[in-house]
Structure 1
Amino acid sequence: MTAEPAVTSFAGLHHQPGEPLLLPNAWDHASAVALAARGFPAIGTTSLAVAAAAGLPDGRGATREQTLCLARTLGAEPFALSVDAEDGFGEDPDDVAELASELWAAGAVGINLEDGLGPAARHAAKIAAVKRAVPALFVNARTDTYWLGDGDETETLHRLDAYQQAGADGVFVPGLSDPDRIGALVRRVRAPLNVLYSPAGPTVSRLAGLGVGRISLGSLLYRRALGAAVDAVADIAAGRVPGGTTPSYAEVCAPSRSVPASRSAKSTGCSRVPR
Protein backbone atom coordinates (compact mmCIF):
# COMPACT_ATOMS: atom_id res chain seq x y z
CA MET A 1 0.00 0.00 0.00
CA THR A 2 1.60 3.26 -1.11
CA ALA A 3 1.27 6.38 0.99
CA GLU A 4 -1.14 8.45 -1.11
CA PRO A 5 -3.77 5.71 -1.73
CA ALA A 6 -3.57 4.81 1.95
CA VAL A 7 -4.21 8.43 2.91
CA THR A 8 -7.11 8.72 0.51
CA SER A 9 -8.73 5.52 1.71
CA PHE A 10 -8.18 6.40 5.38
CA ALA A 11 -9.81 9.81 5.05
CA GLY A 12 -12.64 8.28 3.05
CA LEU A 13 -13.37 5.76 5.77
CA HIS A 14 -14.51 8.70 7.94
CA HIS A 15 -17.09 9.84 5.38
CA GLN A 16 -19.36 6.83 4.89
CA PRO A 17 -22.89 7.76 6.05
CA GLY A 18 -24.24 5.16 8.45
CA GLU A 19 -20.95 3.25 8.47
CA PRO A 20 -18.44 4.81 10.86
CA LEU A 21 -14.82 3.71 10.87
CA LEU A 22 -14.43 1.22 13.71
CA LEU A 23 -10.79 1.66 14.64
CA PRO A 24 -9.23 -1.06 16.81
CA ASN A 25 -6.08 -0.01 18.64
CA ALA A 26 -3.05 -2.29 18.62
CA TRP A 27 0.06 -2.26 20.79
CA ASP A 28 2.58 -4.35 18.85
CA HIS A 29 3.10 -6.07 15.51
CA ALA A 30 1.27 -9.26 16.47
CA SER A 31 -1.84 -7.49 17.70
CA ALA A 32 -1.92 -5.17 14.68
CA VAL A 33 -1.65 -7.89 12.04
CA ALA A 34 -4.15 -10.10 13.88
CA LEU A 35 -6.69 -7.29 13.85
CA ALA A 36 -5.99 -6.47 10.20
CA ALA A 37 -6.47 -10.16 9.35
CA ARG A 38 -10.03 -9.87 10.68
CA GLY A 39 -10.79 -7.36 7.96
CA PHE A 40 -10.15 -4.02 9.64
CA PRO A 41 -8.70 -1.69 6.97
CA ALA A 42 -7.21 0.73 9.47
CA ILE A 43 -5.43 0.17 12.77
CA GLY A 44 -4.65 2.69 15.48
CA THR A 45 -2.13 2.53 18.28
CA THR A 46 -2.84 3.16 21.96
CA SER A 47 -0.56 5.32 24.05
CA LEU A 48 -1.44 3.49 27.26
CA ALA A 49 -0.15 0.20 25.90
CA VAL A 50 3.03 1.77 24.49
CA ALA A 51 3.74 3.35 27.87
CA ALA A 52 2.78 0.31 29.97
CA ALA A 53 4.94 -2.02 27.87
CA ALA A 54 7.94 0.21 28.59
CA GLY A 55 7.09 0.72 32.26
CA LEU A 56 6.53 4.43 31.66
CA PRO A 57 3.60 6.71 32.52
CA ASP A 58 0.92 7.40 29.93
CA GLY A 59 0.09 10.94 28.90
CA ARG A 60 3.29 12.44 30.31
CA GLY A 61 5.31 12.82 27.13
CA ALA A 62 7.66 10.00 28.09
CA THR A 63 7.22 7.67 25.10
CA ARG A 64 8.13 9.62 21.98
CA GLU A 65 10.81 7.16 20.89
CA GLN A 66 8.70 4.10 21.72
CA THR A 67 5.83 5.56 19.70
CA LEU A 68 8.09 6.15 16.71
CA CYS A 69 9.52 2.66 17.06
CA LEU A 70 6.06 1.11 16.90
CA ALA A 71 5.15 3.27 13.90
CA ARG A 72 8.27 2.09 12.08
CA THR A 73 7.38 -1.50 12.89
CA LEU A 74 3.82 -1.19 11.59
CA GLY A 75 4.14 1.45 8.88
CA ALA A 76 5.01 -0.95 6.06
CA GLU A 77 2.06 -3.25 6.70
CA PRO A 78 -0.90 -3.29 4.26
CA PHE A 79 -3.32 -1.36 6.43
CA ALA A 80 -3.80 2.33 7.15
CA LEU A 81 -1.97 3.25 10.36
CA SER A 82 -3.03 6.02 12.72
CA VAL A 83 -0.73 6.81 15.63
CA ASP A 84 -1.78 7.95 19.10
CA ALA A 85 0.83 10.61 19.81
CA GLU A 86 -0.51 12.00 23.12
CA ASP A 87 -0.11 15.81 22.89
CA GLY A 88 2.67 15.51 20.31
CA PHE A 89 5.34 15.01 22.99
CA GLY A 90 6.12 18.70 23.25
CA GLU A 91 4.77 22.21 23.65
CA ASP A 92 6.54 23.69 20.62
CA PRO A 93 4.38 23.34 17.48
CA ASP A 94 7.50 22.96 15.34
CA ASP A 95 8.65 20.01 17.45
CA VAL A 96 5.23 18.38 17.04
CA ALA A 97 5.39 18.97 13.30
CA GLU A 98 8.80 17.27 13.21
CA LEU A 99 7.32 14.25 14.98
CA ALA A 100 4.46 14.18 12.48
CA SER A 101 6.96 14.21 9.62
CA GLU A 102 8.81 11.27 11.16
CA LEU A 103 5.57 9.34 11.59
CA TRP A 104 4.64 10.05 7.98
CA ALA A 105 8.06 8.83 6.83
CA ALA A 106 7.50 5.67 8.87
CA GLY A 107 4.28 4.95 6.98
CA ALA A 108 1.59 6.38 9.25
CA VAL A 109 -1.30 8.14 7.50
CA GLY A 110 -2.99 9.52 10.62
CA ILE A 111 -2.10 11.06 13.95
CA ASN A 112 -4.18 11.58 17.08
CA LEU A 113 -3.28 14.69 19.08
CA GLU A 114 -4.87 15.43 22.47
CA ASP A 115 -5.14 18.80 24.17
CA GLY A 116 -5.02 17.48 27.76
CA LEU A 117 -7.07 20.62 28.57
CA GLY A 118 -4.09 22.82 27.92
CA PRO A 119 -4.69 26.14 26.14
CA ALA A 120 -6.83 25.69 23.03
CA ALA A 121 -4.71 28.20 21.09
CA ARG A 122 -1.55 26.17 21.73
CA HIS A 123 -3.19 22.96 20.55
CA ALA A 124 -4.54 24.71 17.47
CA ALA A 125 -1.02 25.94 16.71
CA LYS A 126 0.28 22.38 16.88
CA ILE A 127 -2.41 21.20 14.46
CA ALA A 128 -1.66 24.02 12.04
CA ALA A 129 2.08 23.26 12.18
CA VAL A 130 1.46 19.57 11.45
CA LYS A 131 -0.77 20.37 8.49
CA ARG A 132 1.85 22.74 7.08
CA ALA A 133 4.58 20.13 7.44
CA VAL A 134 2.57 17.11 6.26
CA PRO A 135 -0.62 18.30 4.54
CA ALA A 136 -1.80 14.78 3.69
CA LEU A 137 -1.51 13.41 7.23
CA PHE A 138 -4.98 12.94 8.76
CA VAL A 139 -5.04 14.90 12.01
CA ASN A 140 -7.57 13.71 14.55
CA ALA A 141 -7.81 16.52 17.12
CA ARG A 142 -8.86 15.39 20.56
CA THR A 143 -10.28 17.56 23.28
CA ASP A 144 -10.40 16.31 26.85
CA THR A 145 -13.35 18.40 28.02
CA TYR A 146 -15.24 15.21 28.90
CA TRP A 147 -12.25 12.99 29.66
CA LEU A 148 -10.52 15.30 32.12
CA GLY A 149 -12.95 18.20 32.46
CA ASP A 150 -16.59 18.62 33.41
CA GLY A 151 -18.04 18.14 29.93
CA ASP A 152 -18.95 21.77 29.38
CA GLU A 153 -20.63 21.95 25.97
CA THR A 154 -19.68 25.55 25.28
CA GLU A 155 -16.01 24.86 25.98
CA THR A 156 -16.12 21.69 23.90
CA LEU A 157 -17.51 23.58 20.89
CA HIS A 158 -15.02 26.41 21.37
CA ARG A 159 -12.10 23.99 21.28
CA LEU A 160 -13.40 21.92 18.38
CA ASP A 161 -14.07 25.05 16.33
CA ALA A 162 -10.51 26.24 16.96
CA TYR A 163 -9.05 22.87 15.98
CA GLN A 164 -11.11 22.66 12.80
CA GLN A 165 -10.07 26.17 11.81
CA ALA A 166 -6.46 25.11 12.33
CA GLY A 167 -6.94 22.30 9.81
CA ALA A 168 -7.99 19.24 11.80
CA ASP A 169 -9.43 16.51 9.58
CA GLY A 170 -11.39 14.87 12.42
CA VAL A 171 -12.34 15.76 15.99
CA PHE A 172 -12.34 13.41 18.97
CA VAL A 173 -14.25 13.76 22.24
CA PRO A 174 -13.46 10.76 24.48
CA GLY A 175 -15.74 10.36 27.48
CA LEU A 176 -18.77 11.64 25.59
CA SER A 177 -21.41 8.91 25.75
CA ASP A 178 -24.83 10.57 25.96
CA PRO A 179 -26.64 9.89 22.64
CA ASP A 180 -28.41 13.25 22.58
CA ARG A 181 -25.18 15.16 23.11
CA ILE A 182 -23.37 13.04 20.54
CA GLY A 183 -26.09 13.69 17.96
CA ALA A 184 -26.07 17.42 18.69
CA LEU A 185 -22.30 17.58 18.32
CA VAL A 186 -22.38 15.68 15.02
CA ARG A 187 -24.74 18.33 13.67
CA ARG A 188 -22.58 21.16 14.97
CA VAL A 189 -19.10 20.19 13.77
CA ARG A 190 -17.91 20.10 10.18
CA ALA A 191 -15.26 17.40 10.59
CA PRO A 192 -16.12 13.73 11.28
CA LEU A 193 -16.78 13.18 14.98
CA ASN A 194 -14.77 10.46 16.71
CA VAL A 195 -16.03 8.95 19.97
CA LEU A 196 -14.47 6.40 22.28
CA TYR A 197 -16.43 3.18 22.51
CA SER A 198 -17.50 2.13 25.98
CA PRO A 199 -19.14 -1.21 26.83
CA ALA A 200 -21.55 0.79 28.99
CA GLY A 201 -22.30 3.33 26.27
CA PRO A 202 -24.15 3.31 22.92
CA THR A 203 -23.60 0.34 20.61
CA VAL A 204 -21.77 0.66 17.31
CA SER A 205 -25.07 0.58 15.42
CA ARG A 206 -26.50 3.30 17.67
CA LEU A 207 -23.45 5.49 17.13
CA ALA A 208 -23.72 4.90 13.38
CA GLY A 209 -27.32 6.08 13.49
CA LEU A 210 -26.23 9.24 15.29
CA GLY A 211 -23.86 10.10 12.45
CA VAL A 212 -20.56 9.42 14.19
CA GLY A 213 -17.68 9.19 11.71
CA ARG A 214 -15.19 7.17 13.74
CA ILE A 215 -15.35 4.89 16.77
CA SER A 216 -12.08 4.22 18.57
CA LEU A 217 -11.48 1.37 21.00
CA GLY A 218 -8.58 3.11 22.76
CA SER A 219 -6.85 0.91 25.30
CA LEU A 220 -9.83 -1.44 25.69
CA LEU A 221 -8.37 -4.36 23.72
CA TYR A 222 -5.02 -4.09 25.49
CA ARG A 223 -6.66 -4.07 28.90
CA ARG A 224 -8.87 -7.00 27.91
CA ALA A 225 -5.79 -8.92 26.76
CA LEU A 226 -4.09 -8.33 30.10
CA GLY A 227 -7.22 -9.42 31.92
CA ALA A 228 -7.47 -12.57 29.79
CA ALA A 229 -3.85 -13.47 30.58
CA VAL A 230 -4.40 -13.08 34.32
CA ASP A 231 -7.65 -15.04 34.16
CA ALA A 232 -5.97 -17.83 32.19
CA VAL A 233 -3.15 -18.34 34.68
CA ALA A 234 -5.64 -18.27 37.53
CA ASP A 235 -7.64 -21.01 35.81
CA ILE A 236 -4.51 -23.09 35.23
CA ALA A 237 -3.45 -22.70 38.86
CA ALA A 238 -6.92 -23.83 39.98
CA GLY A 239 -6.86 -26.90 37.74
CA ARG A 240 -9.28 -25.52 35.16
CA VAL A 241 -8.82 -25.35 31.41
CA PRO A 242 -8.63 -21.67 30.45
CA GLY A 243 -11.41 -20.43 28.21
CA GLY A 244 -11.35 -17.97 25.35
CA THR A 245 -9.52 -18.08 22.03
CA THR A 246 -5.88 -19.17 21.96
CA PRO A 247 -4.09 -18.70 18.62
CA SER A 248 -1.58 -21.43 17.84
CA TYR A 249 2.16 -20.88 17.93
CA ALA A 250 2.26 -21.17 14.13
CA GLU A 251 -0.53 -18.62 13.69
CA VAL A 252 1.30 -16.07 15.80
CA CYS A 253 4.59 -16.71 14.02
CA ALA A 254 3.15 -16.64 10.49
CA PRO A 255 3.07 -12.84 9.94
CA SER A 256 6.77 -12.59 10.85
CA ARG A 257 8.09 -15.15 8.36
CA SER A 258 8.89 -12.57 5.68
CA VAL A 259 11.11 -10.55 8.00
CA PRO A 260 14.83 -11.03 7.20
CA ALA A 261 16.81 -12.81 9.86
CA SER A 262 19.19 -9.85 9.96
CA ARG A 263 16.45 -7.45 11.02
CA SER A 264 17.40 -5.76 14.28
CA ALA A 265 16.54 -2.84 16.49
CA LYS A 266 19.12 -0.83 14.56
CA SER A 267 17.60 -1.64 11.16
CA THR A 268 14.12 -0.53 12.26
CA GLY A 269 15.35 2.62 13.91
CA CYS A 270 14.38 1.35 17.35
CA SER A 271 16.62 1.01 20.30
CA ARG A 272 16.31 0.23 23.94
CA VAL A 273 15.85 3.36 26.00
CA PRO A 274 17.91 3.20 29.23
CA ARG A 275 15.83 3.47 32.38
Structure 2
Amino acid sequence: MTDLAAFTAFSALHHASTPLLLPNAWDHASATALAEQDFPAIGTTSLAVAAAAGLPDGAGATRAETVLLARRLGSGPYLLSVDAEGGFSDDPAEVAELARELADAGAVGINLEDGRSDGTLAPVELHAAKIAAVKAEVPHLFVNARTDTYWLGGQEAAATTRRLDAYQQAGADGVFVPGLADSTVISALVKHIDAPLNILYSPSGPTVARLGALGVQRVSLGSLLYRAALGAALGLAAEIRAGRPVGGSGGAQVPTYAQVQNLSERPRRP
Protein backbone atom coordinates (compact mmCIF):
# COMPACT_ATOMS: atom_id res chain seq x y z
CA MET A 1 0.00 0.00 0.00
CA THR A 2 1.25 3.48 -0.83
CA ASP A 3 2.65 5.41 2.13
CA LEU A 4 0.29 8.07 3.52
CA ALA A 5 2.94 10.74 2.93
CA ALA A 6 2.77 10.08 -0.83
CA PHE A 7 -0.99 10.62 -0.88
CA THR A 8 -0.55 13.84 1.06
CA ALA A 9 2.23 15.06 -1.22
CA PHE A 10 0.12 14.44 -4.33
CA SER A 11 -2.86 16.28 -2.90
CA ALA A 12 -0.62 19.21 -1.96
CA LEU A 13 0.53 19.56 -5.58
CA HIS A 14 -3.05 20.60 -6.41
CA HIS A 15 -2.84 23.56 -4.04
CA ALA A 16 0.46 25.11 -5.09
CA SER A 17 0.98 28.58 -6.53
CA THR A 18 1.24 27.17 -10.05
CA PRO A 19 -0.83 24.41 -11.71
CA LEU A 20 0.31 20.82 -11.46
CA LEU A 21 1.41 19.94 -14.99
CA LEU A 22 0.75 16.21 -15.24
CA PRO A 23 2.41 14.45 -18.19
CA ASN A 24 0.99 11.06 -19.08
CA ALA A 25 3.32 8.11 -19.61
CA TRP A 26 2.64 4.80 -21.31
CA ASP A 27 5.43 2.52 -20.05
CA HIS A 28 8.27 2.33 -17.56
CA ALA A 29 10.78 4.12 -19.80
CA SER A 30 8.51 7.07 -20.59
CA ALA A 31 7.52 7.49 -16.94
CA THR A 32 11.11 7.36 -15.70
CA ALA A 33 12.33 9.71 -18.43
CA LEU A 34 9.64 12.24 -17.51
CA ALA A 35 10.55 11.97 -13.83
CA GLU A 36 14.15 12.74 -14.78
CA GLN A 37 12.86 15.98 -16.26
CA ASP A 38 11.70 16.93 -12.75
CA PHE A 39 8.02 16.14 -13.11
CA PRO A 40 7.05 15.12 -9.56
CA ALA A 41 3.87 13.34 -10.63
CA ILE A 42 3.10 11.18 -13.64
CA GLY A 43 -0.25 10.06 -15.02
CA THR A 44 -1.09 7.19 -17.32
CA THR A 45 -3.11 7.46 -20.52
CA SER A 46 -5.84 4.94 -21.27
CA LEU A 47 -5.40 5.40 -25.02
CA ALA A 48 -1.81 4.15 -24.88
CA VAL A 49 -2.74 1.26 -22.60
CA ALA A 50 -5.45 0.19 -25.04
CA ALA A 51 -3.35 0.76 -28.15
CA ALA A 52 -0.49 -1.33 -26.77
CA ALA A 53 -2.89 -4.22 -26.25
CA GLY A 54 -4.74 -3.79 -29.54
CA LEU A 55 -7.96 -2.96 -27.71
CA PRO A 56 -10.38 0.00 -27.96
CA ASP A 57 -9.99 2.90 -25.56
CA GLY A 58 -12.88 3.93 -23.34
CA ALA A 59 -14.72 0.64 -23.80
CA GLY A 60 -13.92 -0.91 -20.42
CA ALA A 61 -11.74 -3.56 -22.05
CA THR A 62 -8.37 -2.89 -20.40
CA ARG A 63 -8.79 -3.44 -16.68
CA ALA A 64 -6.05 -6.07 -16.47
CA GLU A 65 -3.66 -4.02 -18.61
CA THR A 66 -4.29 -0.90 -16.50
CA VAL A 67 -3.53 -2.71 -13.24
CA LEU A 68 -0.43 -4.31 -14.77
CA LEU A 69 0.94 -0.93 -15.84
CA ALA A 70 0.22 0.50 -12.37
CA ARG A 71 2.23 -2.35 -10.84
CA ARG A 72 5.11 -1.61 -13.19
CA LEU A 73 5.10 2.11 -12.46
CA GLY A 74 3.88 2.24 -8.87
CA SER A 75 7.29 2.02 -7.23
CA GLY A 76 8.88 4.65 -9.46
CA PRO A 77 10.51 7.84 -8.12
CA TYR A 78 7.37 9.92 -8.78
CA LEU A 79 3.76 10.14 -7.66
CA LEU A 80 1.49 8.04 -9.88
CA SER A 81 -2.08 8.78 -10.95
CA VAL A 82 -3.88 6.16 -13.03
CA ASP A 83 -6.37 6.78 -15.81
CA ALA A 84 -9.00 4.11 -15.11
CA GLU A 85 -11.66 5.09 -17.69
CA GLY A 86 -15.02 4.63 -15.92
CA GLY A 87 -13.64 2.09 -13.48
CA PHE A 88 -14.26 -0.84 -15.85
CA SER A 89 -17.60 -1.61 -14.22
CA ASP A 90 -20.98 -0.11 -13.40
CA ASP A 91 -20.87 -1.81 -10.01
CA PRO A 92 -19.50 0.72 -7.48
CA ALA A 93 -18.15 -2.12 -5.32
CA GLU A 94 -16.10 -3.44 -8.24
CA VAL A 95 -14.75 0.05 -8.97
CA ALA A 96 -13.76 0.36 -5.32
CA GLU A 97 -11.95 -2.97 -5.54
CA LEU A 98 -10.04 -1.67 -8.56
CA ALA A 99 -9.08 1.45 -6.62
CA ARG A 100 -7.73 -0.73 -3.81
CA GLU A 101 -5.64 -2.72 -6.32
CA LEU A 102 -4.22 0.45 -7.80
CA ALA A 103 -3.37 1.90 -4.39
CA ASP A 104 -1.74 -1.39 -3.41
CA ALA A 105 0.31 -1.13 -6.61
CA GLY A 106 1.58 2.31 -5.59
CA ALA A 107 -0.89 4.74 -7.17
CA VAL A 108 -1.83 7.89 -5.25
CA GLY A 109 -4.56 9.03 -7.63
CA ILE A 110 -7.24 7.67 -9.92
CA ASN A 111 -9.05 9.30 -12.82
CA LEU A 112 -12.70 8.23 -13.24
CA GLU A 113 -14.72 9.42 -16.23
CA ASP A 114 -18.46 9.49 -16.87
CA GLY A 115 -18.23 9.29 -20.67
CA ARG A 116 -19.15 6.02 -22.35
CA SER A 117 -17.95 4.41 -25.56
CA ASP A 118 -21.36 4.90 -27.21
CA GLY A 119 -21.05 8.67 -26.87
CA THR A 120 -23.42 8.99 -23.92
CA LEU A 121 -22.78 10.00 -20.32
CA ALA A 122 -23.24 7.68 -17.37
CA PRO A 123 -26.09 8.65 -15.05
CA VAL A 124 -24.94 11.25 -12.54
CA GLU A 125 -26.06 9.12 -9.61
CA LEU A 126 -24.11 6.10 -10.84
CA HIS A 127 -20.86 7.97 -11.30
CA ALA A 128 -21.28 9.65 -7.93
CA ALA A 129 -21.83 6.23 -6.35
CA LYS A 130 -18.57 4.99 -7.86
CA ILE A 131 -16.71 7.97 -6.41
CA ALA A 132 -18.26 7.46 -2.97
CA ALA A 133 -17.39 3.76 -3.02
CA VAL A 134 -13.77 4.47 -3.92
CA LYS A 135 -13.41 7.06 -1.16
CA ALA A 136 -14.94 4.65 1.35
CA GLU A 137 -12.52 1.89 0.33
CA VAL A 138 -9.35 4.00 -0.05
CA PRO A 139 -10.00 7.34 1.69
CA HIS A 140 -6.61 8.86 0.90
CA LEU A 141 -6.63 8.05 -2.83
CA PHE A 142 -7.01 11.27 -4.83
CA VAL A 143 -10.13 10.85 -6.96
CA ASN A 144 -10.14 13.09 -10.02
CA ALA A 145 -13.74 12.99 -11.24
CA ARG A 146 -13.98 13.61 -14.96
CA THR A 147 -17.07 14.70 -16.80
CA ASP A 148 -17.18 14.46 -20.58
CA THR A 149 -19.88 17.05 -21.14
CA TYR A 150 -17.55 19.15 -23.28
CA TRP A 151 -15.55 16.24 -24.64
CA LEU A 152 -18.66 14.63 -26.14
CA GLY A 153 -20.47 17.91 -26.78
CA GLY A 154 -24.12 18.70 -26.58
CA GLN A 155 -24.32 18.81 -22.77
CA GLU A 156 -22.17 21.66 -21.59
CA ALA A 157 -22.47 24.60 -19.14
CA ALA A 158 -25.44 23.71 -16.89
CA ALA A 159 -24.91 19.96 -17.17
CA THR A 160 -21.24 20.36 -16.30
CA THR A 161 -21.84 22.25 -13.06
CA ARG A 162 -24.64 19.87 -12.07
CA ARG A 163 -22.40 16.86 -12.53
CA LEU A 164 -19.37 18.39 -10.85
CA ASP A 165 -21.50 19.42 -7.86
CA ALA A 166 -22.71 15.84 -7.47
CA TYR A 167 -19.20 14.41 -7.81
CA GLN A 168 -17.82 16.79 -5.20
CA GLN A 169 -20.62 15.87 -2.82
CA ALA A 170 -19.74 12.20 -3.35
CA GLY A 171 -16.18 12.91 -2.19
CA ALA A 172 -14.18 13.74 -5.32
CA ASP A 173 -10.88 15.44 -4.50
CA GLY A 174 -10.59 17.13 -7.91
CA VAL A 175 -12.72 17.55 -11.02
CA PHE A 176 -11.71 17.25 -14.65
CA VAL A 177 -13.40 18.78 -17.71
CA PRO A 178 -11.54 17.75 -20.89
CA GLY A 179 -12.46 19.64 -24.04
CA LEU A 180 -13.08 22.89 -22.19
CA ALA A 181 -10.84 25.69 -23.49
CA ASP A 182 -12.94 28.85 -23.22
CA SER A 183 -11.27 31.17 -20.70
CA THR A 184 -14.52 32.82 -19.61
CA VAL A 185 -16.19 29.48 -18.90
CA ILE A 186 -13.12 28.14 -17.11
CA SER A 187 -12.95 31.20 -14.88
CA ALA A 188 -16.63 30.92 -13.99
CA LEU A 189 -16.27 27.21 -13.25
CA VAL A 190 -13.29 27.81 -10.95
CA LYS A 191 -15.39 30.27 -8.96
CA HIS A 192 -18.31 27.83 -8.75
CA ILE A 193 -16.56 24.67 -7.57
CA ASP A 194 -14.74 23.94 -4.33
CA ALA A 195 -12.33 21.32 -5.67
CA PRO A 196 -9.19 21.77 -7.82
CA LEU A 197 -10.10 22.05 -11.50
CA ASN A 198 -8.20 19.92 -14.03
CA ILE A 199 -8.10 20.99 -17.67
CA LEU A 200 -6.74 18.95 -20.58
CA TYR A 201 -3.99 20.89 -22.34
CA SER A 202 -4.58 21.65 -26.00
CA PRO A 203 -1.91 23.10 -28.32
CA SER A 204 -4.59 25.46 -29.65
CA GLY A 205 -5.94 26.39 -26.23
CA PRO A 206 -4.68 28.52 -23.33
CA THR A 207 -1.09 28.09 -22.15
CA VAL A 208 -0.37 26.50 -18.78
CA ALA A 209 0.47 29.95 -17.39
CA ARG A 210 -2.83 31.35 -18.66
CA LEU A 211 -4.76 28.42 -17.18
CA GLY A 212 -3.02 29.04 -13.87
CA ALA A 213 -4.02 32.68 -13.97
CA LEU A 214 -7.62 31.57 -14.47
CA GLY A 215 -7.42 29.45 -11.32
CA VAL A 216 -6.88 26.01 -12.86
CA GLN A 217 -4.85 23.85 -10.48
CA ARG A 218 -4.05 20.82 -12.63
CA VAL A 219 -3.26 20.55 -16.34
CA SER A 220 -3.08 17.09 -17.90
CA LEU A 221 -1.43 16.21 -21.19
CA GLY A 222 -3.58 13.13 -21.77
CA SER A 223 -2.54 11.07 -24.78
CA LEU A 224 -0.69 13.99 -26.41
CA LEU A 225 2.85 12.80 -25.63
CA TYR A 226 2.08 9.24 -26.73
CA ARG A 227 0.57 10.42 -30.01
CA ALA A 228 3.49 12.80 -30.58
CA ALA A 229 5.98 9.98 -30.01
CA LEU A 230 4.09 7.74 -32.43
CA GLY A 231 3.98 10.53 -34.99
CA ALA A 232 7.71 11.16 -34.64
CA ALA A 233 8.44 7.46 -35.17
CA LEU A 234 6.30 7.35 -38.31
CA GLY A 235 7.90 10.52 -39.64
CA LEU A 236 11.41 9.21 -39.10
CA ALA A 237 10.57 5.90 -40.76
CA ALA A 238 9.20 7.76 -43.79
CA GLU A 239 12.34 9.93 -44.02
CA ILE A 240 14.60 6.88 -43.94
CA ARG A 241 12.50 5.04 -46.55
CA ALA A 242 12.63 8.08 -48.82
CA GLY A 243 16.41 8.19 -48.57
CA ARG A 244 16.45 11.60 -46.99
CA PRO A 245 19.16 12.37 -44.41
CA VAL A 246 18.18 12.14 -40.79
CA GLY A 247 20.07 13.29 -37.73
CA GLY A 248 21.34 16.80 -37.13
CA SER A 249 19.52 18.70 -34.43
CA GLY A 250 16.47 16.45 -34.65
CA GLY A 251 18.45 13.23 -34.54
CA ALA A 252 20.48 14.47 -31.59
CA GLN A 253 17.29 14.43 -29.52
CA VAL A 254 16.77 10.70 -30.02
CA PRO A 255 17.95 8.86 -26.89
CA THR A 256 20.71 6.36 -27.44
CA TYR A 257 20.27 2.66 -26.81
CA ALA A 258 22.37 2.97 -23.65
CA GLN A 259 20.31 5.90 -22.36
CA VAL A 260 17.06 3.99 -22.73
CA GLN A 261 18.60 0.88 -21.23
CA ASN A 262 19.74 2.97 -18.30
CA LEU A 263 16.18 4.06 -17.53
CA SER A 264 15.48 0.57 -16.20
CA GLU A 265 18.29 0.93 -13.69
CA ARG A 266 16.99 4.09 -12.02
CA PRO A 267 16.25 3.89 -8.29
CA ARG A 268 12.69 3.16 -7.30
CA ARG A 269 10.64 4.76 -4.56
CA PRO A 270 11.30 3.15 -1.17
Q: Shorter-normalised TM-score: what interval? A: over 0.9
Are residue 234 (structure 1) and residue 238 (structure 2) matched? yes
Partners of 2:23 and 2:34 within 8 A in 1: yes
Unaligned runs of 5+ in 2: 116-120
Are residue 95 (structure 1) and residue 94 (structure 2) matched? yes
Question: Residue in 2 aligned with 1:15?
Answer: 15
Q: Which amino acid in 2 is paired with 1:86?
A: E
Find the partner of 1:204 among 208, 226, 229. 208
Question: Residue in 2 aligned with 1:26?
Answer: 25
1:32-51 per-position Cα deviation (integer Å, ceiling 9, x unaligned): 00000000000000000000
Change (3 A) 1:179 1:224: same
Q: Which amino acid in 1 is paired with 2:87?
A: G
- 1:151 is displaced (CA, Å) by 4.5
- Aligned positions, number: 258
Distance in 1 (CA, whole Å) between partners of 2:2 and 2:148 is 33
Matches within 5 A, 1:171-210: 171-210=175-214
1:113-162 per-position Cα deviation (integer Å, ceiling 9, x unaligned): 00011101000000000000000000000000000132421110000000
| 243-252 vs 132-141, which moves further | 243-252
Partners of 2:2 and 2:107 within 8 A in 1: no
1:91-111 per-position Cα deviation (integer Å, ceiling 9, x unaligned): 000000000000000000000
Q: Which amino acid in 1 is paired with 2:153?
A: G
Question: Residue in 2 aligned with 1:156?
Answer: 160
Partners of 2:2 and 2:104 within 8 A in 1: no
Distance in 2 (CA, whole Å) between partners of 1:3 and 1:87 is 25
Change (3 A) 1:207 1:104: same
1:144-193 per-position Cα deviation (integer Å, ceiling 9, x unaligned): 00001324211100000000000000000000000110111011100000
Identity of aligned residues (%): 68
Q: Which amino acid in 2 is paired with 1:131?
A: K
Distance in 2 (CA, whole Å) between partners of 1:192 and 1:216 is 13
Are residue 43 (structure 1) and residue 48 (structure 2) matched? no
Q: Which amino acid in 1 is paired with 2:246?
A: V
Q: Which amino acid in 2 is paired with 1:81?
A: L
Distance in 1 (CA, whole Å) between partners of 2:19 and 2:128 is 25
| 70-79 vs 151-160, which moves further | 151-160
- 1:2 is displaced (CA, Å) by 5.7
- 1:24 is displaced (CA, Å) by 0.1
**TM-score, length basis structure 1:** 0.91
Distance in 2 (CA, whole Å) between partners of 1:193 and 1:152 is 16
Matches within 5 A, 1:57-136: 57-116=56-115, 117-136=121-140
Change (3 A) 1:125 1:2: closer
The DSSP-based 3-state class of the residue aligned with 1:69 is: helix
Q: Which amino acid in 2 is paired with 1:241?
A: V
Question: Residue in 2 aligned with 1:269?
Answer: none
Change (3 A) 1:2 1:60: closer
Q: Which amino acid in 2 is paired with 1:125?
A: A
**TM-score, length basis structure 2:** 0.93
The DSSP-based 3-state class of the residue aligned with 1:146 is: helix
Q: Which amino acid in 1 is paired with 2:111?
A: N
Question: Residue in 2 aligned with 1:253?
Answer: 261
- 1:235 is displaced (CA, Å) by 1.2
Unaligned runs of 5+ in 1: 260-275
